[in-house]
Amino acid sequence: MTNRIGNKDVAQQRSKEEKARIKRANKEMEAAKQAIARTKYRNEVKGRISAAQAAQAF
């Protein structure tokens, strides 16, 4: 649920430019997260824990 201003949600009060800016920022943030995940799990065998994860377990 979004915050409310009187009878309307805050999201309804946002301008088109602000909505576009937020959407663009969200896409950039998600792309950065995916890039980090790709480098982290690159060349790993499926179902097998990596050496770094095994070291953290102990």
One DSSP character per residue, 3-54 reads -EETTEEGGGG--HHHHHHHHHHHHHHHHHHHHHHHHHSTTPPTTS--HHHH
User: What is the pLDDT averaged over residues 17-39?
Assistant: 93
Do 4 and 12 contact (CB within 8 A), yes or no?
Answer: no
pLDDT reading at 57 higher than 60: yes
Percent of the chain scoring above 90 in pLDDT: 29
* pLDDT given at position 30: 97
> First CA to last CA across the chain, in angstroms?
41
- pLDDT digit string, tens, across residues 1-25: 567 666 677 777 778 888 899 999 9
Query: d(Cα 52, Cα 49) in Å, to the nearest integer?
Result: 8
pTM for this prediction: 0.53
